Structure 1
Amino acid sequence: MIGVVMAGGEGTRLRPLTALRPKPFVPILGRPCIDYAIDLLSPIGVRDVLVTTYYRPSLLIEHLGGGSSHDVGVFYSIEDEALGTAGGVAKARGLINERVVVVSGDLFVDADLRDLVAFHERSGAAVTMALTEVPNPVEYGIVGLDDDGRIVRFKEKPREEEVFSNLINAGIYVIEPEVLERVPEGRKFDFSRDLFPMLREEGSLFGHPLEGIWIDIGRPADLLRANREVARKRLRDVDGDLGRSGLVHPDARIEGTVEGASYVASRVVVERNAVVRDSFILEEVTLSQFSEVENSLVLEGSRIGEKSVLQDTIVGAGCEIRSRSKLDECVLGDCVIIPQGSWLVRQKLE
């Protein structure tokens, strides 16, 4: 099998955080989201991974290189224009002559795909779609199955009155190589909107539920939730004290307090009486004295001023939050300066 990671997403709902980085490059506990997608593939026997990309590909290529850090070979298909999910994969069909496992690079998934592959082999499907349940499915493709796991109903982004299931397309597919020959060359073509309806009509599209954590990081609150889920899992793995767990890098200088499921990276400074609570602080960030950061993500090189408070906020790289400011449910792009004494609620600034 060969792995394909779809990494062309621009992440418009995460702007301005994604103004200078592709959506698969946003960090989850200090690692780009795409790393977690590639991690899914090695346990099922994948040794080579094709990354399809369109928006700001250089960051992904520089980070992943040839794949040595993941123990797989990584190569790339770069689109000059967006070709859609199926079109981007099919562009590289000349490199694909075996079964393909396709994973979305802008999802956080903590699951074992071996059951998915085994089901695909038993069913004789042309394509098997991983499925998951969500409370509100209107932003996704919803699925109805028969008793054999064949997809008999499929509706992409239904209106409220059209919802017949909370079971959705999880953005992970096992595909037989001949299916890609049905994708037209040189034009936009999508798995969900174009290819899957054809296969459903033919009875060769199957679905299988995932067991595990699935998070679409398309919104700021969901990106924070993904960081929180990974932090909690790491804490369970190390069975550490929540106050000073293995999630605080030994190079960090902690004079204040780190609480809850928090992650503190290398060369971070938490000054006297500053508090990090259920938050994710990347390299070379400084929290000045009496500042507080709660359920927030702060990217590398930013500075939080004295007596400033961040709640449910994402701060880009190289920002400066000057003293006595309060930010609640905000998203900042890179290198933003917040003036002293600011009070901002649900703002996006770049």
Structure 2
Amino acid sequence: MKALLLAGGLGTRLRPLTDNIPKPMVPILGQPHLKRLINYLALSGIDEVVVTTGYRAKDIELALGDGSDLGVAIRYVNENTPLGTGGAIKNAEKHFDGTFLIFNADILSEIDVQAMLKHHKQHNAAATIAVKQVNNPSQYGVIEYDADYRIRSFKEKPPPSETSSNWINAGVYAFEPAILREIPAGLTVSVERETFPALLSQNHKLVAYRYEGYWLDIGTTDKYLLAHRDILDGKCRTVAGHSGSYISPTATVSPEATVVEPVYIGDKAIVDDKAVIGPHAVLGCSAYVGYGSMVIDSILLDGVKVGQNLKVINSVAVNNCRVYDNLISDTCCEF
């Protein structure tokens, strides 16, 4: 079984974190998100992955290679210019001759892909869209469907008065390859706003798959922080083995420091005397927290150095930055 991962976005909402890291490669507890997703798919029975790339494409290819270390075969399709989600799918058409899955690569979930594929086949769908129930759907693409799961309409960010549905597009799809013929080649196309409504108007059978597990779009700094809190609290099982606290055996934590669980302290990280780490603190490889400093509800990526007697709260410090002042609800990229 094959999967297509849409990984070509610029990640502008995550800047400055994505100034030097492609959005799908931002680390989740020390490992690139895209690598974690591929590991999860391999365990779910996917044996071949096609990755669409654009921004910093070489970084993605160097990190993932041919997939042999991840238990899958990986192929890459690069976009010289952004083509949108629909254009990126069309651009990878030659790699698919049977039913396949599509994932937006900035989604963190624990969707059962085999159950979704079974649902897709049982309903003889041309395309199946995973849908997730949310309290306030007005910031999302809303999907209305009937009792047989057949999709009847798409509404983009509707006010509450215009829809009775609170099921949104979860960014995971099952496609039959014939659908790809309906997407124009060489153009910028949105699968959400253009392709799906067009398919519906042509009476193609589009089906909703109700997904009720963990789901989060990690495309903003706030959501990136939330993802780590949820993982440490055990709310997301995709990142296996990391609910609760983890302190690397190669990390050095002073006996005079205070660790408030849950935390993640990566390889070769150093926590100095009187420092306070946690709760919900993540320290990447070789991160350093100086004497008397506090890191709470925050992420220090690899190589970050925090000076003495500082507070880092609800913030992200990008790779190798130096924190010289208190960092409260902010992103640090000082070098």
List runs of 5+ in structure 1 lacking aligned partners. 338-350
Is it true that 1:287 corresponds to 2:289 in the alignment? yes
Partner SS, residue 13 of structure 2: helix
Superposed CA offset, 1:39-60 (max 9, x none)? 3422443211000011111111
Listed as ranges, the matches of 1:18-33 within 5 Å are 18-33=18-33
Residues 33 and 107, structure 1, Cα contact 8 Å, conserved in 2: no
Going from structure 1 to structure 2, the CA distance change for 1:163 and 1:14 (only over 3 Å counts) comes to: farther
User: In structure 2, what is the Cα distance between the partners aligned to 1:117 and 1:270?
Assistant: 46
User: In structure 1, what is the Cα distance between the partners aligned to 2:131 and 2:328?
Assistant: 34
Residues 101 and 175, structure 1, Cα contact 8 Å, conserved in 2: yes
Match of 2:118 in 1: 118
**Fraction of identical pairs, as percent:** 33
Partner SS, residue 225 of structure 2: helix
Residues 109 and 236, structure 2, Cα contact 8 Å, conserved in 1: no
Going from structure 1 to structure 2, the CA distance change for 1:59 and 1:133 (only over 3 Å counts) comes to: same
Q: Following TM superposition, by how much is the alpha carbon of 1:124 offset from its aligned partner in structure 2, in angstroms?
A: 0.5
Counterpart residue type for residue 300 of structure 1? D
TM-score (norm 1): 0.89
Going from structure 1 to structure 2, the CA distance change for 1:37 and 1:163 (only over 3 Å counts) comes to: farther
User: In structure 2, what is the Cα distance between the partners aligned to 1:35 and 1:125?
Assistant: 30
Match of 2:71 in 1: 71
User: In structure 2, what is the Cα distance between the partners aligned to 1:23 and 1:32?
Assistant: 9
Partner SS, residue 114 of structure 1: helix
Partner SS, residue 218 of structure 1: coil
TM-score (norm 2): 0.93
Going from structure 1 to structure 2, the CA distance change for 1:37 and 1:276 (only over 3 Å counts) comes to: same
Going from structure 1 to structure 2, the CA distance change for 1:166 and 1:39 (only over 3 Å counts) comes to: farther
Counterpart residue type for residue 272 of structure 2? E
Listed as ranges, the matches of 1:4-153 within 5 Å are 4-153=4-153
What do you get for the CA RMSD once the two structures are aligned? 2.0
Q: Following TM superposition, by how much is the alpha carbon of 1:90 offset from its aligned partner in structure 2, in angstroms?
A: 1.4
User: In structure 1, what is the Cα distance between the partners aligned to 2:64 and 2:167?
Assistant: 33
Q: Following TM superposition, by how much is the alpha carbon of 1:171 offset from its aligned partner in structure 2, in angstroms?
A: 0.3
4+ residue runs over 4 A deviation? 234-240
Residues 98 and 176, structure 1, Cα contact 8 Å, conserved in 2: yes
Aligned length: 329
User: In structure 1, what is the Cα distance between the partners aligned to 2:90 and 2:148?
Assistant: 28
Residues 54 and 78, structure 1, Cα contact 8 Å, conserved in 2: yes
Is it true that 1:187 corresponds to 2:187 in the alignment? yes
Counterpart residue type for residue 248 of structure 2? H
Going from structure 1 to structure 2, the CA distance change for 1:319 and 1:6 (only over 3 Å counts) comes to: same
Going from structure 1 to structure 2, the CA distance change for 1:8 and 1:159 (only over 3 Å counts) comes to: farther
User: In structure 2, what is the Cα distance between the partners aligned to 1:149 and 1:238?
Assistant: 35
Going from structure 1 to structure 2, the CA distance change for 1:98 and 1:44 (only over 3 Å counts) comes to: farther
User: In structure 2, what is the Cα distance between the partners aligned to 1:301 and 1:31?
Assistant: 14
